[in-house]
Amino acid sequence: MKDYKADLSKKQISLLEKATKSEISCFITFLESECQDIHAFDALAKPTTKKITVKALYDLHSSGITLKNIETYIDQLKSTIYETIEEEDPWLFHQEPPIEERLQEEKMLNHEHLEWTTNLLEDVAALDLQRLIKRRLDKQQSLSKGYITSKQKDKDWPVIRQSMIDEGFSEKEIQEFHKRHYKATQKKRRTIRKKKTKKPKK
Residue-wise pLDDT for 175-196, tens only, equals 877 777 676 655 444 444 444 5
**61 vs 98, more confident:** 61
Collect all residues with Cβ–Cβ distance below 8 Å to 28 and sequence separation of at least 6: 85
Asked if the model's pLDDT at residue 144 lies above 60, the reply is: no
CA distance 29 to 33: 6
| 108 vs 154, more confident | 108
Of 55-64, 144-153, 159-168, the least confident: 144-153
Mean pLDDT of all residues in 93-121: 90
pLDDT digits (tens, 9 = 90+) for 34-78: 889 999 999 999 999 999 999 999 999 999 999 989 999 999 999
Cα(67)–Cα(69) distance, integer angstroms: 5
* Residue whose C-alpha is closest to residue 63's, from 18, 23, 21, 25: 18
Contact, 11 vs 104, CB < 8 A?
Answer: no
Type of residue found at 76: Q
Are 147 and 189 a contacting pair, CB within 8 Å? yes
**Per-residue burial over 91-115, b = 16 or more CB atoms within 10 Å of its CB, e = otherwise:** eeeebeeebeebbeeeeebebbbbe
H-helix or E-strand spanning residue 16: helix 10-32
Closest Cα to residue 44, out of 118, 101, 117?
117
Is the CB of residue 49 less than 8 Å from the CB of residue 96?
Answer: no
CB-CB neighbours of 20 under 10 Å: 23
DSSP assignments along 21-86, one per residue: HHHHHHHHHHHHTTT--GGGGGGGGSHHHHHHHHHHHHHHHHTT--HHHHHHHHHHHHHHHHHHHH
Looking at residue 193, its pLDDT comes to: 46
